Amino acid sequence: MTEAVEGHHFVARTLIGPTIETWGTGDQRARFLPGIEAAKQIWCQLFSEPGAGSDLASLATRAVRRDADHWTVTGQKVWSSFANLADYGMLLARTDPDKPKHAGITCFLLDMRARGVTVRPLRQLTGEEHFCEVFLDEVQVPDTDRLGPIDAGWRVALSTLSAERSGLSGTSDASGVSLAPVLAAARVNGTWQEPIMRDRLAGLLAMERALELTNQRAAKSRTDAGGSITKLAQSELSQRIAEIGFEIAGAHGAYCVADPLCPEAYALLDSRRLTIAGGTSEIQRTIIAERVLGLDREPDPDRGRPWRAVRRG
């Protein structure tokens, strides 16, 4: 199974499928869920935009209703994993610019082969091209492919975002950064015998075990912020594992840093995305502060103002 197909399974089954199950019509569930379950459809998320990443609700892609049966969508999306392979995409678009930014958004299920859809892959540090930018030029979308009520797209998206954070934090090696081979390498090359290095590795091992228990607790509690807690811990732990693995590799790791087949170098470069994908660590900390610790919300001078009146960079 290729990495692209594995990613497709995660996006389709973990993110899109449950959202369609929750919000979809009977016809939509019958049309899409069997293909997702059978891994016959590749899906992508069309959420983030050049001017709407961490502040996703400020998205500007517009969907205008032309008649009772069709919408016209124009805009740009970015960082859409596997969009170049996808059959369908879950799209968020602004349908009422006179409502506050969290309102006036609607979710659509987009045929990625529709006229007006252009996909351009983006090359990553690792040399791979999993992320893409997507251009939408007056794309016609039937109203039968609208997911959830009009202007309720933010609530639909929260279902997907919560599943994404939980899915990205199943274990510390959910992203492919596992501590076990790092420990094995330390024993082989003798760095395990160094007290300082052994103490650092033991600390990571303790964090890995604690994360496993936290994942189990979060899965049982099913709180909205549970995924943020484990996603924050997982992504930062995986980066630390990648960094110490590269350090233990020593000269070999430095020599092969440009070789995509070098596991230590690949893990180091690939791990940079982990504290961004699925919501940055800063966003996760804000969610935890507000929803778990009960701290005051961050001030937002644009709260309640119509999206059309909000100043954007």
pLDDT, tens digit only, all 313 positions of the chain:
334 446 567 889 889 999 999 999 999 999 999 999 999 999 999 999 998 888 899 999 999 999 999 999 999 999 999 999 999 999 999 999 999 999 999 999 999 999 999 999 999 888 888 899 999 999 999 999 999 999 999 999 998 887 665 555 454 444 457 899 899 999 999 999 999 999 999 999 999 888 888 877 766 665 556 778 888 888 999 999 999 998 998 877 665 655 656 777 888 888 888 888 878 889 889 988 988 889 998 888 878 889 998 877 6
- Distance between CA atoms of 167 and 227, rounded to whole angstroms? 8
Q: Quick one: 68 and 135 in the same domain? A: yes
95 and 125 in one domain?
Answer: yes
What pTM value is reported for the model?
0.81
Q: Is residue 294 part of a domain?
A: no
Task: Say if residues 236 and 275 touch (Cβ distance below 8 Å).
Answer: yes
- Domain of residue 206 covers 169-276
> Domain end: 138, 161, 184, which one?
161
Residues 142 and 29 in one domain: yes
Q: What is the CATH number of the domain that holds 145?
A: 2.40.110.10
Separation of alpha carbons 29 and 259, rounded Å = 44
Verify that 96 and 183 share a domain, yes or no.
no
Residue whose C-alpha is closest to residue 237's, from 280, 198, 274, 183: 274
The verdict on 105 and 26 lying in the same domain is: yes
* 8 Å CB contact between 34 and 27: no
Residue 288 belongs to some domain of the structure: no
Answer whether residue 285 is part of any domain.
no
Is residue 121 located within the same domain as residue 235?
no
30 and 156 fall within a common domain: yes
* 74 neighbors 42 (Cβ within 8 angstroms): no
Same domain, yes or no: 55 and 112? yes
How many whole angstroms separate alpha carbon 313 and alpha carbon 310? 10
- Among 109, 128, 161, identify where a domain stops: 161
Cα 99 from chain centroid? 26
Catalytic residues, by residue number, are 164
Residues 213 and 103 in one domain: no
99, 50: one domain: yes
- As a whole number of angstroms, the distance between CA 169 and CA 10 comes to 12
Q: Are 108 and 153 part of one and the same domain?
A: yes
Number of domains composing the chain? 2
Inside any domain, residue 313: no
Q: Is 293 part of a structural domain of the chain?
A: no
Domain boundary (112, 136, 161) is at: 161
Dihedral pair phi/psi, residue 19, rounded to 5°:
-70, -40
17 belongs to a structural domain: yes
Q: Compute the distance between CA of residue 230 and CA of residue 245 in angstroms, rounded to an integer.
A: 22
310, part of any domain: no
Residue 87 near residue 43 (C-beta atoms within 8 A) = yes
Yes or no: say if 78 and 49 are a contact pair by the CB < 8 Å rule: yes
In a domain, 261, yes or no: yes
Contacts of 193 (CB under 8 A, 6+ apart): none
Q: 40 and 102: one domain?
A: yes
